[in-house]
Amino acid sequence: MPLHSPEAVVNDLANIKKDIRTIGKGNNCLPDDFAKIHFKGYIATTGRIIADTYTRNDGKPAPKVFTIGHFDEIKCFDLILPQMKQGEASTITCPSKLVYGSHEKYGQFGSEVIPAYSDIVFTMKVLACKPSSKPGRDLEAGPPSAPISDKKQ
C-alpha cells in the first residue's frame, strides 16, 4: 500500500472498530485488488447519514468500485478492507484522522457540512474482491461472485 508503513498500519488498525454482522467467504480483499462495496456512512456523534451507496444514484443502488490501497477512497477503507472477506457485512467505526481529519466536507447529499474531526460509522458489505495479478495472489479461486465494472461509479 502506498505510504502505509507496517508500523503505521498496525497503529491505525488499532483505532478502527469492526463489528462483523455477516461472516464472509473466500479470499480476503488485498491491496491492489478491485473492491466492490455497498456502504452507508453516519456521523458517530449525531447519527446523521452522510453517504449511502444504496440510494446515491437518484434513489437507486450504486455500489462503489475502487482499487484498495490507492487512496481512491478514504484511508479507513484502504486499511479495513484487507481485514474483510467477500460477502462480509460489518459495522466499521473510523476515527476522524482516517476519514476526513481536520477538513470540513460536504456529505453525499450536499445539504450539510460534515464537521472537522468527525468520527464516522459505516455499515459496509463487501460485494466482490477481484484479485489482482500480483505475485502470491490466488488467481485459481475463480471470478468474484458479483461482476466488477471497469468504470468508476
Burial class (CB in 10 A: 0-12, 13-18, 19+), 99: buried
Tell me how far apart the terminal alpha carbons of the chain are, to the nearest angstrom. Answer: 22
Say whether 24 sits in a helix, a strand or coil.
coil
At 136 the pLDDT is 57
For 44, the grid coordinates are: 458517530
At 6 the pLDDT is 78
At 137 the pLDDT is 54
**Helix or strand (DSSP H, E) at 34:** strand 34-43
**Where in the chain are the domains?**
6-133
Residue 35: name the closest of 43, 19, 44, 24 by CA. Answer: 24
- What distance in Å separates the CA atoms of residue 6 and residue 36, rounded to the nearest whole number? 25
At 152 the pLDDT is 42
Residue 74: name the closest of 41, 48, 113 by CA. Answer: 41
Check whether domain 6-133 has CATH 3.10.50.40, yes or no: yes
Task: Count CB-CB contacts under 10 A for residue 47.
Answer: 8
Spell out the per-residue pLDDT of the chain, length 153, in tens.
445 677 888 888 999 999 999 999 977 888 899 999 999 999 999 999 999 998 877 778 899 999 998 888 899 999 999 999 999 999 999 999 999 999 899 887 766 789 999 999 999 999 999 887 665 555 444 444 444 544 444
Task: Count CB-CB contacts under 10 A for residue 123.
Answer: 17
At 70 the pLDDT is 86
